[in-house]
Structure 1
Amino acid sequence: MTTQHETEPPERSFSPQAGATDAPKMRRVAVASTVGTVVEFYDFFIFSTAAVLVFQSVFYAELGTAAASASALATIGVAFVARPFGSVIFGHFGDRIGRKKTLVTSMLLMGGATVAVGLLPGADSIGVAAPVLLVLLRMAQGIAVGGEWAGALLMATEYAPAKQRGTFAMFPQLGPSLGLSLSTGTFLVTSLVLDDAAFLSWGWRVPFLMSAVLVLVGLWVRLSLEETPVFRKESVRSRAPFMDLMRNQSRELALASGATLGVLAFFGTSATMLLSYGSVTLGLPRQWVLGAAIIGGLAFAAATIAGGIWSDRVGRRPLLVGSHVLAVLTAVALFPILDLATLPAFTAGLVLAFVVTGLAYAPLGAQLAEVFATTYRYTGAGLAYNIGGVVGAACAPLIGAVLLERWGSLAVGIMLAVYATVALACLAKLGETRGRELDAHRGDSTEPQHTP
C-alpha cells in the first residue's frame, strides 16, 4: 500500500500516558478543552439565535416578511455546509503541525468573525453589502467550528489514560450544551432588560461583542497547555492526511459519519426547530421558550457527563446502542408531549430530547477519537462529525419543518426515529472501540490495532 508520509523525530520521547498521571496537568486539559468548545459554540449559537430573532429585520427587511425570515434561517445553514471544509483544512494542519497551534487558530477565526458580526452595519446603512458580509462571516464561523471540535476532542483524549478516555472526552463535548445555555441566557437577559426597539437597534449586538472577552479567556487557557503526548510521540507525519484517510479508512469514515446522525439530528432539531415550534406553533411566550432551552441545555450537559463516565465502565457500544434505542422511543413520544402546549410539558419534552442526545454525545466523541489512526485522526474525527452535522443537525430541522407543515408533528418524530435507526446500524458495524491504544496504529495500516 502506497502512502505519503515523512518521518520527523518526536519532540520528546516518553509514554503517551506520561502526562495522563499528572493530576494538575489533566485538570488543565479538562478546563482548556471545556472552555474552548464552550466559547466556540457560544459564538456559533448566538448567531442562530439572532437569526431567528432579529436578522430578518436588520439585514433582510427589504425582501418582505416571509422571504426575510427564510433568508435569515438559510444564513444559519451556511455554516453547516462550511463545517466539513473546516474539518479538512484544520485537520490537515492539526495532523501535520499539531493540535494546539491549530486550536488557537480556530478560536481566533471564530472570535474575529463573531465580533465582526456584532459590528456589522445593517442593510439600511450599507445596502446589499450587509447580508453578503453576514453570509461570509457565517461561513468563517462554520470553518472555525469545523476545525475546533476534533482538535478539542483530541486534546482531551490524547492526554487521557486509556481507561478514562470516555470521561475526558466528555469535557469538550460539554461545549454545545453549555454554549447553548450561555448564548440563550445572554439573549434572554438582553431582551428582558431592553425594550423591543432598543433590542432591535443595538441590544442584539451585545452578545456578539461579549465574545471578545470569552475568546481572550479561552486563548489564555489553551496557550498554557503543551502539545498532546500521543502526537509528540508519533514520529510519522502524513503529508496528505485527507488522502491517507480516504485510502486507508474510508469505510470507517463512512460508518463513523453515519453513527453521528441520530445524536446530531436530535440536537439540531431540539436547539433550533423546537424553539420555533414552541413560540410560533404552540404560541408560548418567547421568554418561556428561551428559559426552557436553558434548562434543556443544562440537562444536556448533565447527561453528557453521565454518558462519558458510564462509557468507561460498560464500553462505548452498549451505551451508544442503548441510548439510540431510547432515542427511537423518545422520537415517537416527543411531540405528543410538546403538543400539550403548556410550559411544563414543553420543558419536559425539550429536556427529554436533550438527555437522550447527551447520553450518547460523550461516548460518541471517544469512539471517533479511537477509530482513526494518529497520523490523520484530526482529519478523520472532524470530518465524520461534520458530515453528520450537515446531514443530521442541519438537514433534520429543514426536513422536519416541511414534514410538520404537510403531515403534522408525528411525522417529525418518525423522521427522528429513522435518523436514530440509521445510526444504530452504523454503530453495529463499527463495533467496540474502548481499550484501543491511540498510538498503537499508524496511517499505513488499514485497521487500527486492539489491545487485549
Structure 2
Amino acid sequence: MTTAGAPMTAAQRRNARTAAASGFFGTTLEYYDFLIFGTAAALFFGKVFFPDPSVGTLLALSTFAVAYVARPFGAIVWGHLGDRIGRKRVLLAILLTMGVATFLVGCIPGYETIGPAAPIILVALRVVQGLSAGGEQAGSALLALEHAPDHKRAFYTSWTQSGSQFGNFLASVVFLPLVAFLPADAMLAWGWRIPFWASALVILLTFVLRRKLAETETYEELKREGLATKVPLAEVLRVHWRAVLRIIVASFCLAPAALVYLFGLSYGVTVQGLDRSAMLTLIAGASLSLAITQPLFAILSDRLGRKPVFVVGAVGCAALIPVWVSGLHSGNWVLLYASGFGIMAVFLSMVCGALLATFLELFPAHVRFTGAAVSFMLGIVLTGFLPTIAQSFVHTDPDNWAPVAWFFAGLMVLAAIAVLTGPENYRVPTAQLGAPRGATRPAVEEPGPDILAPPVGDR
C-alpha cells in the first residue's frame, strides 16, 4: 500500500508483482489439487480405496464433496489467523498444508493393502484440502491487493482468479497423456498417483515466491496502531453483514463455470451422447482462454470502475446462456463453441476480472481476510449445488432444458443486481477502504503508463 499520489518504490513494485505471481500459482495449485481429486475419484478411487466396485465410485465421488463442506470452516480459521497474526505467514501455512495433503493422497496404499484405513485416510486428507482451500483464494488476492498500487488493485488481484482457471485447465488435461500411454492396470496401480506427486513442483515455486514477500504495509500499520480485532468473525457478522450477503449473492456469478464444466459435461456426454473428447476440448479451451483474458478486463475495471465491467459481463452471460444450453441439447457444435467461448472468454472474464477486488474492497483492513474469505466460500459452497439442481430439471425429461437455461441466466442477473446496488470503491485509496460513509476519501492517482506491466519481475 502507498499513500495516494505517491509513486511506488522499486521494492514495492517487486512485492506487488511477486504477490500477484504467488496468487496465480497458489490458486493454480488449489484448483489443480481440488479437481484432479475429482477426476481420480470418478475413474480410479472406487476400485483402489473401496472393497465393493458396485458402489465404490459413488463412495469415491462422495469424498470429493467432503471438501466443499470443509471450505467455510477453513475460511473462518485462516481468516481469523490472517487478520490476527499476518497475511504472509498464514498464506505460507495454507500452501504447505494443501500441498502436503495433496502429495500424501498420491502415497496412500489401497484397500487391498491396509483395508478400511485406506478410505479413512483419503477422507481425512480431503478434509485438509478443503480446509486449506477455504483461505487460499481470498488470502492470495488480499495479499496482492494490499501490495498493489491503489489504481491497479483489480489487475493485480485478477492474477489470483486467473490461476484458478489455469488450475482447471491443467486438471482437465493432466490425465490425458497418462491414460493414452499407460495400460489400464498400470494406471490403476500407480499411474493415477503421478498428478498428485507432480503438484510438488508448483508448491515449491509458490513457496519460494511467498518467502520473498514482505508483510503488507496495511497489516504492519494495524500492528503498530494496535487495531487488530480479537474475534474478526464476530465483527464481520455484526457490522458488515450486508457486505457478507452481497458477496454471497454476487458469487452466483460463477454459475457459468458450473454450467459448462460440470453440468454441460454430464448432460452433453451422458444424456445427449456428445463426443467426450470434443466436450473436454471445449472445457480445457474455455479454462485457458478465461485465464488469459481476465487480467485485460481487470485493467478495464481499474479504469472504468468495478460496476460497469462486472454488470456488463454478468448480463452478457445471462444473454448467452440460453443459446449455449440450446446448442448443448441440439448437439450443434458451432453454436456450442461460439457461445461457450463468448460466455467464458469474454463475459465471464469481465466478471472475474473485477470479482476479487470488488469483494475485498468492501471490508476494512482489520477484518478483510475473514470477511472476504468467509463470504466468498459460503457463496462458492452454494454455487457447488447448482449442477445438481440443473440435473434435477432434466432427470426425468432430457428435453426440459429451458428451465436450466433460465435458472442460470437468472442467477447472473441476481449477481449483477448485488454488485450494482453496492458501493463503487475503485477510486478509494486502499487505506480508506471500508471507512464509514462520509469519511474523507482522497482521490487516487490516475493510472500510470505501466498498467500493462507483467506481474512478475522488476522493471
TM-score, normalised with respect to structure 1: 0.89
Q: Deviations over 1:322-359 (max 9, x none)?
A: 11111211221111122343665544454344233222
Equivalent in the alignment of 1:380:
371
Cα distance in 1 between the residues matched to 2:267 and 2:333: 13
In the TM superposition, what is the alpha-carbon distance from 1:221 to its structure 2 partner? 1.2
Match of 2:356 among 350, 365, 369: 365
In the TM superposition, what is the alpha-carbon distance from 1:432 to its structure 2 partner? 1.5
Q: Deviations over 1:250-285 (max 9, x none)?
A: 11111122111122x222332323233343234344
Equivalent in the alignment of 2:43:
53
Equivalent in the alignment of 1:319:
309
Equivalent in the alignment of 1:409:
401
Cα distance in 1 between the residues matched to 2:209 and 2:425: 30
In the TM superposition, what is the alpha-carbon distance from 1:402 to its structure 2 partner? 1.6
Give the residue type in structure 1 aligned to 2:235: D
Equivalent in the alignment of 1:166:
154
Question: Do residues 431 (structure 1) and 423 (structure 2) align?
Answer: yes
Equivalent in the alignment of 1:419:
411
Equivalent in the alignment of 2:27:
37
Deviation above 6 Å: which 4+ runs of structure 1?
Answer: 16-19, 446-449
Task: Tell me if structure 2 keeps the 8 A contact 1:87–1:147.
Answer: yes
Question: Do residues 309 (structure 1) and 299 (structure 2) align?
Answer: yes
| Structure 2 CA distance for partners of 1:437 and 1:254, relative to 1, 3 Å | same
Cα distance in 1 between the residues matched to 2:392 and 2:415: 22
DSSP-derived class of the 2:432 partner: coil
DSSP-derived class of the 1:432 partner: coil
In the TM superposition, what is the alpha-carbon distance from 1:18 to its structure 2 partner? 7.0
Question: Do residues 185 (structure 1) and 170 (structure 2) align?
Answer: no
**What is the percent sequence identity of the aligned residues?**
31
| Structure 2 CA distance for partners of 1:348 and 1:442, relative to 1, 3 Å | closer
Cα distance in 2 between the residues matched to 1:448 and 1:178: 40
Cα distance in 2 between the residues matched to 1:158 and 1:322: 27
DSSP-derived class of the 2:228 partner: strand
Question: Do residues 332 (structure 1) and 299 (structure 2) align?
Answer: no
Match of 1:213 among 201, 226, 230: 201
The more displaced of 101-110 and 233-242 is 233-242
* Aligned ranges 1:5-404 → 2 under 5 Å: 15=3, 20-22=8-10, 23-60=13-50, 62=52, 64=54, 67-234=55-222, 235=225, 236-263=227-254, 265-341=255-331, 346-355=336-345, 356-392=347-383, 394-404=384-394
Cα distance in 1 between the residues matched to 2:46 and 2:331: 27
Cα distance in 2 between the residues matched to 1:290 and 1:17: 47
In the TM superposition, what is the alpha-carbon distance from 1:124 to its structure 2 partner? 3.0
Cα distance in 2 between the residues matched to 1:179 and 1:19: 34
Gaps of 5+ in 2: 444-459
Q: Deviations over 1:129-173 (max 9, x none)?
A: 322322221111111011111110011111111111111111111
Task: Tell me if structure 1 keeps the 8 A contact 2:361–2:433.
Answer: no
Task: Tell me if structure 2 keeps the 8 A contact 1:253–1:384.
Answer: yes
The more displaced of 372-381 and 226-235 is 226-235
Cα distance in 2 between the residues matched to 1:24 and 1:389: 31
Provide the alpha-carbon RMSD of the alignment: 2.4
Cα distance in 2 between the residues matched to 1:154 and 1:16: 19
TM-score, normalised with respect to structure 2: 0.88
| Structure 2 CA distance for partners of 1:433 and 1:282, relative to 1, 3 Å | same
